[in-house]
Structure 1
Amino acid sequence: MIENRPEGDVIQLKLPSLPDYLGVARLTVSGVANRMGFSYEEIEDIKLAVGEACSNAVKHAYRDDDKKGAIQLDCVVYSNRLQIVVTDEGKGLNSAPVADQLTPIYAGRDIEEVEEGGLGLYLIHTLMDEVEIRSDNGVSVSMTKYVRRDGVAGYDRTISEKEV
């Protein structure tokens, strides 16, 4: 018996931290989400969120290393939700994201000052039902999307202290 095994099925994928493989990550989660019965729009949201998390890992995790590292993509399939965890073993975050960084435009900045790609965390938080970001040895972005049956989601959407 495996300790700490989640109650859901686990699909794991390890990819080189290169932009060429981002499509593989999106296709993988698309197939899993489709099998679970998510709508087309929900699958597109999941693909976009996973693409942003993986892009952040490619762009930031191994920026000072001579060699590229890897991105680990874990999909955990539960009866009522899909949990996706994107993990790298790179530099990590300098600090936890603050609430202002989870809005489309950081407080006090004009639209002209917003950098391309600076909307990733905002998009991930907007598109997914639950998001948790950890930075220990690298960065781990855990994203959960609940399956909605009959227009009702199986979750309580409240902001936890971890998100703020």
Structure 2
Amino acid sequence: MNTASDYLEMTVPAKPDFVGVVRLTISGIANRMGFAFDEIEDIKIAVSEACTNVVNHAYSDAELGQIRIGCNLHDDRLEVTVVDQGKSFDYNKVTENLGPVDGKPVEQLTEGGLGLFLIETLMDKVEISGEAGVMVMMTKYLHRDEVEENVDRTSPASSQ
């Protein structure tokens, strides 16, 4: 059974200025865990999108909202949860309009839909709950011991 070895949590104001703080923190955690550069970039973008959705959609202008970010560090994966206590949204309603992006200009994607599409594309597993506020749980698996096929190898055709 694989249990979480470390857990950390931070709460930041739901303001654009703090999304960068979250990005830097997540980047440091993913780097420490041994993720590759490209994977760290993917994680940073996905978490930024989730936080930006909170900043733009969760709270009314009068509310002083917060974003809670939880990180579960396992041996084989990083689980990042982004939670707000703002107004819930209907995930099914947002995603039913998504569909494939192929052939659709970016301008035609519904607001919030592109962020969800990006998050689901960049992360290995995404779960969204809209009970009290919205919770987005994103998982990225760590492939530490795997070697990509044909990396640093010459093909038989090129050695002639």
TM-score of the superposed pair, with normalisation by structure 2: 0.81
Count matched residues: 145
Instruction: After TM superposition, list the pairs within 5 Å mapping 1:122-161 onto structure 2.
Output: 122-151=117-146
Instruction: After TM superposition, list the pairs within 5 Å mapping 1:74-85 onto structure 2.
Output: 74-85=70-81
Instruction: After TM superposition, list the pairs within 5 Å mapping 1:45-84 onto structure 2.
Output: 45-62=42-59, 64-84=60-80
1:72-92: CA deviation from partner (whole Å, max 9, x where unpaired): 000110010000000000001
**For residues 104 and 66 of structure 1, do their structure 2 counterparts lie closer, same or farther at Cα, with a shift above 3 Å needed?**
same
2:130 is paired with a residue of what secondary structure? strand
User: Greater Rg, structure 1 or structure 2?
Assistant: 2
- The answer on whether the counterparts of 2:13 and 2:66 sit within 8 Å (CA) in structure 1 is yes
- Measured after TM superposition, the shift of residue 99 of structure 1 is 5.2
* Cross-structure match for 2:150: none
**For residues 102 and 33 of structure 1, do their structure 2 counterparts lie closer, same or farther at Cα, with a shift above 3 Å needed?**
farther
TM-score of the superposed pair, with normalisation by structure 1: 0.79
* Cross-structure match for 1:8: 5
* Cross-structure match for 1:88: 84
Matched, 1:32 2:1: no
State the identity %: 48
Q: Of Structure 1 and Structure 2, which has the larger fraction of its residues in helix?
A: 2
Gaps of 5+ in 2: 148-160
2: CA distance, partners of 1:116 / 1:7: 35
**For residues 117 and 83 of structure 1, do their structure 2 counterparts lie closer, same or farther at Cα, with a shift above 3 Å needed?**
same
- The answer on whether the counterparts of 2:23 and 2:48 sit within 8 Å (CA) in structure 1 is yes
Gaps of 5+ in 1: 1-5, 153-164
Counterpart of 1:35, as a letter, is: R
